[in-house]
Amino acid sequence: MSGLYRIAARLGHIRHVELAWVRARGVPDRGGWFTQRSLAGGGALVDLGWHLFDIAVPLLGTAAFRHAIGTVSSDFITQRSSRAAWRGDDGGPALPGTAEGTTDVEDTARGFLITDDGRSVVLHASWASHEELDTTRVTIDGSGGSATLRCTFGFSPNRLERSTLTRTVDGTTRPVAVPTEPIGTEYDRQLDMLPAQLRDPAGRGRAIEEVRRTIGAIERVYTSARIPREVRESAPV
């Protein structure tokens, strides 16, 4: 991500960001807390979407989301072939007091958000899909060019062979070198940075503000996604 952010600083004014984390097969712990709204608060949007919102923070700064619409679906969540067997917790016993395989969250969420300063964000988070590989894609459009990163977040072995980063300016797309790192290196790097961030007086309260903004955006996407269903259910036959 550091390489992408360096390029973003040379793209002029950021106008639009597209964030996608789409797993081919990766529904976690079906029937456990991951797939129960009362325990997890939501499905793929809360789990994967949260990390996508984190990516947007350095790009959008403190801009708040003025508008948010979205849709959710659960086409894959009950299919045994869509489970994240690589997690090692698949097929375990259901939680006490729940039926085997109980699920009431989404496996896919899509959102479109606009900040109070007029920038737009497209978000797509999926635990499972029709894709062959688990893929994370970030595209940044600025007034002076665009950049796209394709990689695979997380520990899934069903991943892209390598990460790619490109920059496009005036109709010409050029590759940017991306270092090859062991799986999980990004998480080690975050832990290494944490002590300095905790000691920084300027960072006091920043995490809470970012969490509040992310939760607010997620709740607004969920609210938007519920409206069509409620309208359909209340419509006369």
The pLDDT of residue 29 is 78
pTM: 0.86
Pair of tokens at residue 86: 């690589």
Q: Domain 2-234 maps to which CATH number in 3.30.360.10, 3.40.50.150, 3.40.190.10, 1.10.10.10?
A: 3.30.360.10
- Rounded CA-CA distance 89/107 in Å is 17
The pLDDT of residue 95 is 46
In tens digits, what is the pLDDT along the chain, a chain of 237 residues? Answer: 778 999 999 999 999 999 999 999 999 876 688 888 889 999 999 999 999 999 998 899 888 899 999 999 999 998 888 888 776 655 555 444 445 557 889 999 999 999 999 999 999 999 999 999 999 999 999 999 999 999 999 888 999 999 999 999 999 999 999 888 788 777 777 778 778 877 788 777 778 888 899 999 999 999 999 875 554 445 454
Could you tell me the CA-to-CA distances from 127 to 53, 65, 108, 175, 214 in Å, in that order? 16, 25, 6, 29, 19
55-44-215-199 Cα dihedral, nearest 10 degrees:
-50
Spatial CA neighbour of 42 closest among 91, 107, 95, 89: 107
The pLDDT of residue 172 is 97
Spatial CA neighbour of 109 closest among 28, 226, 221: 221
